[in-house]
Structure 1
């Protein structure tokens, strides 16, 4: 049954400090703990709760089961002046991804473009925070990753491809916002199924099939079955593309070999692929920004179809949510807070929220 009580609001600063304390107590170096916390809290602020700090219990379980190395430091190998590879050494995906995009940006600053492949990594949360890393530095970007099997290939019925997000972004102009696309090739992200299960909620019809191939609104049954690709063969092809660029190319697991963050059987061996691009390669930066302004205004001022109040630019809804949550706090249901506080008790650190006595 869904939790009908009002959500608990926690300030983003307190949320981040709480995550850092849990990770440090679990053996994660402070610098890496802060990167993980940044990525998770960024998701919660943007309203992508399926990829926020509620991932922490599964991450900590992987540490306790010796599936993920909390102390691992990603290492960098330069391949060419514009190509590098990061080895995550089975540590958290967040530091490996941060180093990968940081390196891609550095190469692009000098040569116009930078490309980094990441191998032997783990789940890095919401892709948009890595896109934002590039935008904050003034760069366009592509962010790919593969993931554990959850989708059938088109025409198949068993899990093979991951619900692997395709993400990209570009800085905005003076009168526009940045373009940020972060989407799964499935009808919905698999993390939303886990979120519904945690909260005791149903999922919409058309998101997933149970293990017998029937449509289901039960998240527990959906996790036993398969997610449905968006657009049929188109979503299936995008999922395969993510595996080519992230898994096959990097030397990490692919073709159903990636282990998910809720699976305690073996390391994830996730692969990522990042590209950073200077936006003024073919025209001046001023002209690029002016053209982004025009694009933004054309999109949001388009003639609206019946029943639509406002047209939003990709990433704009999340930006509006972020502004609201920065001011009001991040909402968590009681079941989520209880699970996080249980981890705090286990590790002997302060709780994220204490019920008033």
Structure 2
């Protein structure tokens, strides 16, 4: 029996929509969440696509996600959008504001979108990828519940606190999309290693006593570590200030666990978007030429290699497919 299930994009989309509705999501929430899931699966990191959708489905059923939220938006300054996600998914508030936000950035040359009171953001690259589709350069920051200690033996005070960057390269090339955590690895990689009973590399995590561990199960009860030691911890702090500090979302120390309980993590998201100069400046074409130059020298450029096949098949592990199918069948 094959370990991978290959689905046509439309079939994968329909399955995911049914599962979201069965778990208690509204039509709007289901559509927004599935669009982000497909984006991660086809263009970004598949591990935060359909496998992470299962976390959303359980959280919808168990009350950590409001399935029918009513996001509220404010404009405290002309180019500043502030959203309250009403304990729903982060993608919905962003999607609802996107058209006005893009228009604002095109008018002022720069704009800020913040959001509080949401479930975790999923693939952070989704947000900067969407903005790149509209010709905008952007930076994104978000947080979740505390699971990373700044030093071995320290207490968890930050989440993985990812930072993402997107830059358009014109119609002929996919955008540059950098999406990486402040931790030495993403939390989903620890979860996957534990499920498969695989050891994890040294430097990824510590156990509950703060001791270095190669055991993924021990890491799940302990804490992740930052990449690059103190430098990675500084990046995590910067992300915390941007994501939770600027938006008013929960600090990681105060956020509820996104995997258990009934409370929303209520965390923050901040996006800063910029126009790449005036059309006559040809900044996008210049960036595209530089990326081609780097690739010619063998440099890996994140995002630019993600060209899905024309048929857009989606690959799911059998376990992921069966877990989503089981929830979808409960409709």
Helix, strand or coil at the partner of 1:217:
coil
1:199·1:335 contact (CA, 8 Å) conserved in 2?
no
Q: State the distance in 2 between where 1:234 and 1:136 align.
A: 32
Question: Are 1:82 and 2:79 matched, yes or no?
Answer: yes
1:209 match? 206
User: Are the structure 2 counterparts of residues 285 and 185 from structure 1 closer, same or farther at C-alpha, using a change threshold of 3 Å?
Assistant: farther
2:153·2:211 contact (CA, 8 Å) conserved in 1?
no
CA displacement, residues 84-122 of structure 1 (integer Å, 9 cap, x when unaligned)? 200101011210232354443221011111111101111
1:94·1:123 contact (CA, 8 Å) conserved in 2?
no
Further displaced range: 239-248 or 102-111:
102-111
User: Are the structure 2 counterparts of residues 82 and 298 from structure 1 closer, same or farther at C-alpha, using a change threshold of 3 Å?
Assistant: same
Give runs of aligned pairs for residues 101-140 of structure 1, distance below 5 A. Answer: 101-140=98-137
Question: Are 1:341 and 2:325 matched, yes or no?
Answer: yes
1:197 match? 194
Length, aligned pairs only: 331
Q: Please state how far the C-alpha of 1:240 moved relative to its aligned partner.
A: 0.9
Helix, strand or coil at the partner of 1:331:
strand
Scaled by the length of structure 2, the TM-score of the pair is 0.91
1:249 to 246, 249, 265: 246
1:305 match? none
Q: State the distance in 1 between where 2:219 and 2:280 align.
A: 47
What RMSD in Å do the two structures reach over aligned CA positions?
Answer: 2.2
CA displacement, residues 291-314 of structure 1 (integer Å, 9 cap, x when unaligned)? 112321231122xxxxxxx43212
User: Are the structure 2 counterparts of residues 51 and 12 from structure 1 closer, same or farther at C-alpha, using a change threshold of 3 Å?
Assistant: same
1:353 match? none
Question: Are 1:230 and 2:251 matched, yes or no?
Answer: no
Scaled by the length of structure 1, the TM-score of the pair is 0.85
Q: State the distance in 2 between where 1:210 and 1:195 align.
A: 17
Helix, strand or coil at the partner of 1:143:
strand
Q: Give 5+ residue unaligned stretches, structure 1.
A: 303-309, 349-357
Q: State the distance in 2 between where 1:195 and 1:258 align.
A: 23
1:94 match? 91
2:35 to 38, 60, 76: 38
Question: Are 1:330 and 2:314 matched, yes or no?
Answer: yes
Q: Please state how far the C-alpha of 1:47 moved relative to its aligned partner.
A: 5.5
2:299 match? 311
CA displacement, residues 116-167 of structure 1 (integer Å, 9 cap, x when unaligned)? 1101111121011111110111111111111111111246522110101101
CA displacement, residues 168-223 of structure 1 (integer Å, 9 cap, x when unaligned)? 11110466542211111111111222233344544333322222333333322211
1:44·1:53 contact (CA, 8 Å) conserved in 2?
yes
1:97·1:124 contact (CA, 8 Å) conserved in 2?
no
User: Are the structure 2 counterparts of residues 102 and 268 from structure 1 closer, same or farther at C-alpha, using a change threshold of 3 Å?
Assistant: farther
Q: State the distance in 2 between where 1:110 and 1:54 align.
A: 38
Q: State the distance in 1 between where 2:58 and 2:320 align.
A: 16
Helix, strand or coil at the partner of 2:326:
helix
Helix, strand or coil at the partner of 1:150:
coil
2:168 match? 171
2:255·2:266 contact (CA, 8 Å) conserved in 1?
yes
CA displacement, residues 276-324 of structure 1 (integer Å, 9 cap, x when unaligned)? 21112xx54552123112321231122xxxxxxx43212234x14xx25
